[in-house]
Amino acid sequence: MVSRDPARAKSACFLLGMVRARVGVDALNPVSATGTVVQLRTVGGTAQAKSDDERRCAPRRRMLKSAIAAFNNRFCTVSCTVRDLSDTGARLRSEGSVNIPDTFELIIELDGFEADCEVAWRRGSDLGVRFLGAPRRVAPKRDQVINPNLPPPVPTLRRKPVR
């Protein structure tokens, strides 16, 4: 019997690990063992039970990057934020998601990433897109420069050490 409850599935994953640690791998032989069968997927180095509502065919990477949704031959642009990215699509957040058309070009300037997209779903300010073709890698339009925001050094009367 396969558990459909996510809490029971996670506890089954924990118990499965405990059985593997205490008894050994031979106890997990489907011929000799009886119990709950749980499909596992890895997220960030940890095993989680695969949920039934997971319809993605490619793993997604969580991120927080600024992007541009360009349409009308790049004459019209809407700024947005990429929340998740996979090989087949992305989840975007835009305050004006109703202004983004059903097909557009997604541009991430920091990575030099460009892809033709179509909207798969809309929920509030979030929208899910699927890539119509393979994403293109171009030269990055700008570089990310991170400078520390430190106070200026305080002048002292001490001598600098000789090196």
Residue 21: which H helix or E strand, with range? helix 6-22
pLDDT at position 41 is 55
Rounded to the nearest angstrom, the gap between the alpha carbon of residue 85 and the centroid of all alpha carbons in its chain is 5
Cα distance between residue 131 and residue 82, in whole Å: 14
Please write the tens of the pLDDT for every residue from 20-61.
444 344 444 444 445 555 555 555 444 555 554 556 677 889
Beta-bridged to residue 54, according to DSSP, are none
**Confidence at 156, pLDDT banded by 50, 70, 90:** confident
Check: pTM over 0.85? Answer yes or no.
no
> How many residues in the chain?
163
Instruction: Give percent above pLDDT 70 in the chain.
Output: 64
pLDDT for 154 equals 84
8 A C-beta contact, residue 49 and residue 9? yes
The burial of 155, by beta-carbon neighbours within 10 Å (0-12 exposed, 13-18 middle, 19 or more buried), is given as exposed
Look over the chain and give the mean of its residue pLDDT values, rounded to a whole number: 75
Q: What angle (nearest 5°) sits at the alpha carbon of residue 78, between those of residues 77 and 80?
A: 135
